[in-house]
Amino acid sequence: MNHLKTYTLLAAMTALFGGVGYLVGGTGGMLIALLVAGGMNIFAYWNADKMVLRHFRAQEVDPRHSDPRVQAYVQDTLALAQRAGLPAPKIYIIDNPQPNAFATGRNPENAAVAATSGLLGLLTREEIRGVMAHELAHVKNRDTLTMTVTATIAGAVAMLANFALFFGDRDRNPIVGILIMLLAPIAASVVQMAISRAREYEADRIGAEIGGEPEALASALQKIEGYARQRVNMDAERNPAMAHLFIINPLAGRGADNLFSTHPNTGNRIAQLMELARRFGRPANASPAGPWSAGPTRKRGPWG
């Protein structure tokens, strides 16, 4: 998705925020909402990555970590970043049993990637490389800023809409207030979804090119999707506006959360990746193999 479309979508979310402000408080409400949206964009530009990492209690790691699996995760991620022509990102682990990963940061020079302990315990080394190549593709495409700012505004639109019934015009038909409360978060979700789905396909493609193993990423997506449905990510559930940051929807364990999925169908993503594997001349039915088992996640303590 080109930059013009990105800016258009972000402008649409800001306008939506202002529109809800107008319906809640008239012209004054709209101006206040637009000022708040502008301030949020500026704040999110400099701080959204820190907020996201703090929310998920991510811990930075380096190649000197005592766990060989973490050492390999860090070393491979740094090697992939160099291969992609990117500055070395900060690398984090989130102590969470649900396998997942995301990237954040306002630009490649200030990027960070994070994987959950569940992902490191479930996937083979090749599959982990595939996932991190996907996340670095988001960094390379400069998706991370847009995705984190969008999460901030989407959450704010939902919060503002909830004020409509309580602080809106007392003379307005209550039904209108109810519609605002219901439709504004839905509209924000639709815009958020439009940004995220296109970016996931593109990050899969670029990530396959960076890592050179599209079938490994395809296998990783299949495993993550299956396990994510079995393990609830409570940190993500508490702030669903951040769901689109992850490689697989972390809310997949709750049926209602799929009403406006921020991610494309995993089966379609896998099919696209296997087609890329065929173009790369790799075996279509390749099963990534590595030194680690792909069995159930081992029980682990805090990641220090």
Q: Is 194 among the domain residues?
A: yes
Q: Is 274 among the domain residues?
A: yes
Q: Is 292 among the domain residues?
A: no
Q: Is 293 among the domain residues?
A: no
Q: Is 186 helix (H, G, I), strand (E, B) or coil?
A: helix
Separation CA 256–CA 207 (nearest Å): 30
Number of domains in the chain: 1
Q: Is 294 among the domain residues?
A: no
Closest to 150 measured CA to CA, from 30, 22, 21, 5? 5
pLDDT band at 118 (very low <50, low <70, confident <90, very high): very high
Q: Is 188 among the domain residues?
A: yes
Instruction: Report the half-sphere exposure of 68 (CA within 13 A, side-chain side).
Output: 4
13-22, 119-128, 164-173, 234-243: the lowest-pLDDT one: 164-173
Greater pLDDT, 161 or 304: 161
Greater pLDDT, 183 or 15: 15
Question: Highest-confidence range of 155-164, 216-225, 257-266, by mean pLDDT?
Answer: 216-225
| Model confidence, pTM | 0.77
Which amino acid would we find at residue 163? F
Residue with tokens 């994070």: 114
46-50, 120-124, 185-189, 268-272: the lowest-pLDDT one: 185-189
| pLDDT for residue 290 | 42
Q: Is 191 among the domain residues?
A: yes
Q: Which domain holds residue 23?
A: 3-279
Q: Is 186 among the domain residues?
A: yes
Instruction: Compute CA distances 236 → 48, 52, 203, 207, whole Å.
Output: 15, 10, 21, 24
| Structure token digits, residue 304 | 């220090």
Question: Choosing from 126, 127, 135, 225, which is the catalytic residue?
Answer: 135
- pLDDT of 146 higher than 90: no
Separation CA 273–CA 204 (nearest Å): 7
Which amino acid would we find at residue 266? T
In DSSP terms, 189 is beta-bridged to none
Separation CA 54–CA 23 (nearest Å): 34
Please give the mean pLDDT across all residues of the chain.
79
- Annotated catalytic residue 225: no
| Structure token digits, residue 290 | 């590595």
Question: Highest-confidence range of 96-105, 148-157, 190-199, by mean pLDDT?
Answer: 96-105
DSSP 76-132: HHHHHHHHTT-PPPEEEEE--SS--EEEE-SSGGG-EEEEEHHHHHHS-HHHHHHHH
- pLDDT of 258 higher than 50: no
